[in-house]
Amino acid sequence: MTDFRLVYYSENRIPPERLEAEIEAILGASRRNNGLVGISGALMFNAGFFAQVLEGTQQAIESTFERIQQDRRHGNVQLLDFTSTSTRSFLTWSMAFIGSSEGVAVSLSSIASRSGFDPRNLDGTQLFSRLRDLLSEPG
Ligand SMILES: Cc1cc2nc3c(=O)[nH]c(=O)nc-3n(C[C@H](O)[C@H](O)[C@H](O)COP(=O)(O)O)c2cc1C
């Protein structure tokens, strides 16, 4: 079946004192749910923004994104791209995380701290490529 890729960014609404716990909760739910419906992808948190790529069947992505859009932990969700694709770039991750918030324990933090970028300046293809490149760079 043809895979689709969805790319969006959004503004964080989580207060700083709850950020670490809420991001852990988001990743926990994402990895569990995405694994069940065959979604792979990557989530970045940086400078008050989330950016996310979801890969999977159209149906799985639509129902997942429907939930994500209603989540009050972020807002102003901006859909940048939703297209069919013949290749998955995040196949081994039910949800990879790239983060740079203070106190958020992430294995790729050194990469993320170098990556400070504002997703508002990127289109869907650029944002997707950026996340893919960050994950493939050696830490
Ligand atoms: C930035 C952001 C990204 C999220 N990404 C996903 C995701 O990839 N998959 C997912 O199932 N839920 C994701 N969520 C969480 C959903 O909004 C929702 O809370 C969750 O799917 C509910 O799962 P549960 O019913 O199993 O608790 C995300 C939430 C936020 C704020």
**pLDDT tens-digit series, residues 60-105:** 999 999 999 999 999 999 999 999 999 999 988 899 998 765 444 4
Domain assignments of the chain as residue spans, ordered by start: 3-136
CB 76 within 8 A of CB 9: no
How many other CB atoms are there within 10 angstroms of residue 69's CB atom?
13
> 100, 101, 93, 87: which is closest to 136 by C-alpha?
93
Say yes or no: CB of residue 33 within 6 Å of ligand 1: yes
Say yes or no: CB of residue 34 within 6 Å of ligand 1: yes
How many other CB atoms are there within 10 angstroms of residue 120's CB atom?
10
Distance, CA 29 to ligand 1 centroid (Å)?
Answer: 6
Q: Is the domain covering 3-136 a CATH 3.30.450.40 domain?
A: no
Is residue 2 very low, low, confident or very high in pLDDT (cuts 50, 70, 90)?
confident
pLDDT at 137: 67
Condensed to tens digits (0 to 9), the pLDDT of residues 14-67 reads 998 898 899 999 999 999 999 999 999 999 988 788 999 999 999 999 999 999
